[in-house]
A = this chain, B = another copy of it.
Amino acid sequence: MPAPFDLESFLPYRLNRAAELISLSFAREYKQRYQITRPEWRTLAALGSVGRMTATQVGVHSNMHKTKVSRAVHALEQRRWLKRAEDDADRRIEHLELSVLGQKAYREIAALARAYQESLEQTLGQGAIGRIEAGLADVEQALLAGARKGH
């Protein structure tokens, strides 16, 4: 007799459900106000938070497919929130950077994000979010380590 399978305690299922819920919940805060999509916000956030990066690095950082990143970058460029700069040594590479306008937008949406998370932390209690994130870090590390070995 096999061990029972409880979907409610299956991590991929649980993570998906929670991620979808919280993402949509927060997206409501900026979708209307800034006319920006989810991939665009993630790209903006990555560049604003980390600083100058290439498209590939943005993709790794936020775990987005490279075509998704490519399109988000294009959209942000149209909006003049982002500038591309070529690399001196390798002409395939494009360094991405937020424009002054982009930085302004980033700061504003980041303020929304901060407020959102602060409010959540209020109701969850101090440190609760940090503990989840520590757990997630371990999970990601385990998965990425496993992937390299071809599991």
Known contacts A25-B147, A136-B132, A117 near B11 by CB under 8 Å: yes
A17 interface residue, CB < 8 Å from B? yes
A15 to chain B, nearest CB (A): 4
A20 interface residue, CB < 8 Å from B? yes
The closest CB in chain B to the CB of A109 belongs to: B5
| Cβ 8 A contact of A18, one of B15, B48, B50 | B15
Residues of B within 8 A of A147 (CB): 25
Q: Which of A83-91, A94-102, A138-146 contacts B (4 or more CB under 8 A)?
A: A138-146
Interface of A (DSSP majority class): helix
Query: Judging by beta carbons under 8 Å apart, are B139 and A132 in contact?
Result: yes
Interface residues of A, Cβ cutoff 8 Å to B: 2-3, 5-23, 25-26, 42, 45-46, 48-50, 62-63, 107, 110-111, 113-114, 116-117, 120, 123-124, 128-133, 135-136, 138-140, 142-144, 146-147
23 contacts between A and B (CB under 8 A): A2-B107, A3-B114, A5-B110, A5-B113, A9-B130, A10-B45, A10-B113, A11-B22, A11-B117, A11-B133, A12-B19, A12-B26, A12-B116, A14-B136, A16-B19, A18-B19, A18-B136, A19-B20, A21-B140, A21-B144, A25-B146, A124-B139, A128-B138
